[in-house]
Amino acid sequence: MAEYKLSASLRGHEDDVRSVIFPSPSTVASASRDSTVRVWSLQSSNPPNFDSAIKVHGTAFVNALTVVPPTADFPQGLIVSGGKDQIIDVRQPTKALGEDADALLIGHGNNICALDASQDGKLIISGGWDMEARIWTVGKWGDSTLLKGHQGSVWAVLAYDASSIITGCADKEIRIFSPTGQLTKSIKTGDVVRALCRLPANHPSGAQFASAGNDAIIRLWTLDGRQVHELQGHENFIYSLAASPDGRLVSCGEDRTARIWENQQCIQTITHPAISVWTVAICPENGDIVTGASDKIVRVFSRDPARHAAPAAIAQFSDDIKESSIPQQQIGGINKEQLPGPEFLTQKSGTKEGQTQLIREANGNVSAYQWSTAASEWVSIGTVVDQAGSSGRKISHNGKDYDYVFDVDIEEGKPPLKLPYNLSQNPYEVARKFCEDYKLPLTYLDQVTNFIVQNTQGQTLGQSAPAQGVDPWGSESRYRPGDAAPETPAQPPASRPKILPQKGYLDILTANHLPIFKKLQEYNEALVKEGRKDVSLNPSDIEHLKQAVDRLQKGNESVPPDAVDLILKAATEWPADKRLPALDLLRLLFADQYNTAFLLKERDLLQRLGNSGAFEADSPPNNTMMAVRAIDNFFKTEVGRAVADDEFDQILGFVKPFLASPNRNLVIAVTTLYINYSVFLTEQGNADRTLHLLDDLNNILLSAKDSEAVYRALVATGTLLSLGSDFCEAGRDILRLGTAITTAESRVKEPRIKNVVAEIREKLEA
């Protein structure tokens, strides 16, 4: 059978392509971390050439995409997309950018990472980081059916048929539901499930659907939960699966490949010049494949020579692969001395399609080769590099090599300052050293950190990570203080359902646990070297703490009290410049009611935090921010809410000095606290406390410049005003909220700000 070859490379996205669909031979759609959804239309066929139009341009990463097939109500079908803004956008493909969506579906409380539509066009299924999957009825946009029971992020959803909806979850289970939301089957798997796909009827294996995930294994299942086959060949996480009508499977993942499977065998491996291939889809009419990758490119592959790209384009694709850099971390430890030389390539054949072999070249480099069964030869797929810069080429500065050397303009008319940076480094620590070296005020710290993250596209060793937001169940990435994105309240424009009052509490519990623990270990080693035996942890403490972090990583598990005490010690007794990782772990403890009760009742956490100086003016802003995030999480449990109620004055006293802080993450943490209190007080109707909050929110709105902080302050304000006309009267006459709202609206010109302001004004003018 003919091999797949490059058909077209579709360039236009400005960040990772996270999802693709291939509904017809003349149309491809793609979603990207650049906040857009593009539709690519075939312009000419020999060689294939596509032109794109942006259909959605949001304000956050778009991670998931599907299409609703044509129906009587929507004869062109519907494009459905979702992502970090927690809103599902539904629109007809003929609509131009800027036109209102047909529907904006609100219900998820965190990043939406999976979408699918039923074959009859009646249902949309969604999954997200909020550990929820939902069923939406096409045309009846107001409500959704919650699929309950997930204990982790719902990474994959599949509208299998009229009676079965399947979900894949980070808790390592596949669940099958009825359309009414009833759980009918739960299947335990070997690892986190990231991908699902329907197999065609009468598949040769006898299976009905396939799954894949973190263990790099594709599993074929029947609907009664019986595993039929395991397909092994990938070398890292598998992110996406697709099946063709004739039964072939295509998979892709973190090992830079898309792989084609037939009769339970890998028959072709397509390596990409990227760190990760995030998504794959198959055109049901002609069997062509489309992929989306971390190098921002959408690629189409075909077996039909009539649809192959020009020979020069195919050759360039091959050269790009040969010249690509492979992060050593992606491969693991390498002993160069034990690697074979180039002679291996002519003396030994591969044992299976896609097998990878490392070779020590004559110049000392380590190259990777992949076995092609069709060509019966080893094909070069790149050079292994110590650091994963965009090109693998280093820049020299002061006698050392770096992935980047930035010019930073601090003062007009003076030469820029040099900022060297390696991707293996912590951007926060590099920024702090930069400020210290050039004697810059620490108010520059967050700006420099964000500058590094943005200008390296948030890239980390072994993966391309978002500049903002943290994948709570994904690959390990380096520790970036303050970078975990808390949940965002729903953001409805005028055309979507009103959200005031906010009804749900917001917690900030996403994290990359291992990097946090590694940073804590690093700081502890520094304390040991400094002779600080009074506060440093001994090896048995560190091992005990590691076990506790493992429990936290599993989600919603209690941590033993002695381990909680170790975290509390590091968070409140270590030197201030070394407390941040422990404070980060401290906020995660509040996911569990027993840890919450222990910390708040038996260890008097609020008093400990206050005595530690976390809320003093000279406290490192990120320490204060993380302490406020911990308080935000009090509202996760009933016992935490009770303490937040009892200690209202003390907590507000802690945060009041930071209402106008220049630190973006700190102000967002503070406004999140005010949202949670506003939700709590709407259940109580406490007039004095409500007016207290409104006064503080008035001050925030008059000073805040960050759009997220402004939005959260507005949501909290609108929620409190929903208590009734008396509170609206106070808002008008006593607190001058009208002035504050007008100031905020003029400062931040975003649709979501305009829409929530309109809702607030309706209340004030009633």
Domain ranges of the chain: 58-188, 327-385, 395-464, 513-765
Q: Cβ atoms within 10 A of the Cβ of 244, count? A: 19
Higher pLDDT, 654 or 100: 654
Q: Quote the pLDDT of residue 624.
A: 95
pLDDT digits 0-9 by tens, 316-337: 998 888 877 776 656 666 777 7
Burial of 132-158, coded b for 16+ CB within 10 Å and e otherwise, reads bbbbbebeebeebbebebbebbbbbbb
- Distance, first Cα to last Cα, the chain: 71
Residues 587 and 570: their CA atoms lie apart, in Å, by 13
Token code pair at residue 305: 């020579």
Which residues make Cβ contacts (< 8 Å) with residue 110, sequence separation at least 6? Answer: 86, 128, 129, 130, 487, 510
CA 201 to chain centre: 34
Q: Judge residue 423's burial from the number of C-beta atoms within 10 Å of its C-beta, 0-12 exposed, 13-18 middle, 19 or more buried.
A: buried
Question: In this model, does residue 459 exceed pLDDT 60?
Answer: no
Output phi, psi for 250, to 5 deg: -130, 135
Which is more confidently placed, 468 or 733? 733
- What was the pLDDT predicted at 481? 39
| Dihedral of alpha carbons 68, 70, 74, 79, sign | positive
Model pLDDT, residue 673: 95
Ranges 108-112, 148-152, 468-472, 685-689: which has the least confidence: 468-472
Please tell me the distance from the alpha carbon of residue 565 to that of residue 571, in angstroms, as a whole number: 10
Residues 403 and 394 sit within 8 Å (Cβ to Cβ) = yes
Cβ atoms of 262 and 239 closer than 8 Å: no
Rounded to an integer, the average pLDDT of 760-766 is 75
Highest mean pLDDT among 13-17, 62-66, 328-332: 62-66
**Cα dihedral 475, 478, 483, 488 in deg (nearest 10):** 0
| CA 405 – CA 394 distance, rounded (Å) | 9
Residue 50: strand, helix, or coil: strand
* Listed residue (131, 16, 220) closest to 473, CA to CA: 131
Proportion of the chain above pLDDT 90, given as a percent: 50
Class of domain 513-765: mainly alpha
Tokens read off for 111: 């990043």
Residues in Cβ contact with 190 at an 8 Å cutoff, skipping those fewer than 6 apart: 172, 215, 217
Q: What percent of the chain has pLDDT over 70?
A: 85
- In 452-513, DSSP assigns E strands to 459-460, 463-464
Q: What is the pLDDT of residue 672?
A: 93
**DSSP letters along 321-357, please?**
HHT-EEEHHHH----GGGS--TTHHHH---SSTT-EE
User: How many other CB atoms are there within 10 angstroms of residue 629's CB atom?
Assistant: 28
- Asked whether 737 and 695 are in contact (CB, 8 A), the reply is no
What are the b/e assignments for 78-94, b being 16+ CB within 10 Å?
bbbbbbbbbbbbbbbbe
What does the alpha-carbon distance between residue 661 and residue 431 come to, in Å, rounded to a whole number?
19
Tokens of 586: 């401290």
Instruction: State the average pLDDT for the chain.
Output: 84
**Token output for 367:** 């190259």
Q: What is the pLDDT of residue 360?
A: 86
pLDDT digits (tens, 9 = 90+) for 460-497: 322 233 333 333 333 333 333 333 333 444 433 333 44
**DSSP state string for 54-108:** EEEE-SS-EEEEEEEPP-SS-TT-EEEEEETTSEEEEE-TTPPTTSPPSEEEE--
Give SS3 for 730: helix
Is the pLDDT reported for residue 685 higher than 50?
yes
Q: What token pair was written down for 272?
A: 């990409």
Class of 58-188 per CATH? mainly beta
Contact status, residue 499 vs residue 488, Cβ threshold 8 Å: no
Comparing 7-21, 504-518, 583-597, the range with the smallest average pLDDT is 504-518
The Cα 262–Cα 374 span in angstroms is: 14
* 539: preceding bond cis by omega (within 30 degrees): no
* Strand-pair category, 123-128 with 133-137: antiparallel
- The CATH class given to the 395-464 domain equals alpha beta
- Give the integer Cα–Cα distance in Å for 401 and 168: 43
Residue, of 545 and 473, whose pLDDT is higher: 545
Distances (CA, A) of 238 to 115, 477, 545: 17, 17, 31
Inter-helix orientation angle 664-684/621-632, to 10°: 20
For residue 111, count CB atoms less than 10 angstroms from its CB and return exposed for 0-12, middle for 13-18, buried for 19 or more.
buried
Helices marked H in 103-244: none
* Residue type (1 letter), 524: N
Of the pLDDT bands very low, low, confident and very high (cuts 50, 70, 90), residue 570 is very high
pLDDT band at 747 (very low <50, low <70, confident <90, very high): confident
Question: Do 395-464 and 513-765 come out as alike in CATH topology?
Answer: no
Model pLDDT, residue 490:
40
In the predicted model, what is the mean pLDDT of residues 74-81? 95
Residue 707's pLDDT band, with cuts at 50, 70 and 90, is: confident
Q: What is the reported pLDDT for 674?
A: 94
Q: Which of 393-407, 456-470, 651-665 has the highest mean pLDDT?
A: 651-665
User: CA-to-CA distance for 471 and 383, rounded, in angstroms?
Assistant: 28
What burial class does residue 397 get, using C-beta atoms within 10 Å of its C-beta: 0-12 exposed, 13-18 middle, 19+ buried?
A: middle
One-letter amino acid of 40: W
- Confidence label for 114 from pLDDT (cuts 50, 70 and 90): very high
Instruction: Say how many CA atoms lie within 13 Å of 381 toward its Cβ.
Output: 24
Question: What's the pLDDT at 629?
Answer: 94
Integer angstrom CA distances of residue 527 from 544, 562, 691: 18, 21, 46
Structure tokens at 203: 């598949």
Cis peptide preceding 47, ω within 30 of 0: yes
Residue among 629, 633, 628 nearest 652 (CA) = 628
The CA-atom distances, in angstroms, between 316 and each of 320, 331, 391, 508, 524 are 6, 25, 16, 45, 50
Half-sphere exposure of 27 (CA within 13 A, CB side): 14
Taking only the tens place, the pLDDT of each residue in 217-257 is: 999 999 999 999 999 999 888 999 999 999 999 999 988 99
What average pLDDT does this structure show over 440-452?
70
Judged on CB neighbours under 10 Å (0-12, 13-18, 19+), 611 is: exposed
- Which residues lie below 8 Å from residue 106, measured CB to CB, with a gap of 6+? 86, 87, 88, 490, 492, 496, 497, 499
Q: Please compute the mean of the pLDDT values over residues 695-720 and round it to a whole number.
A: 88
| Contacts for 611 with CB less than 8 Å, ≥ 6 apart | 572
**Of the spans 301-305, 402-406, 704-708, which averages the highest pLDDT?**
301-305
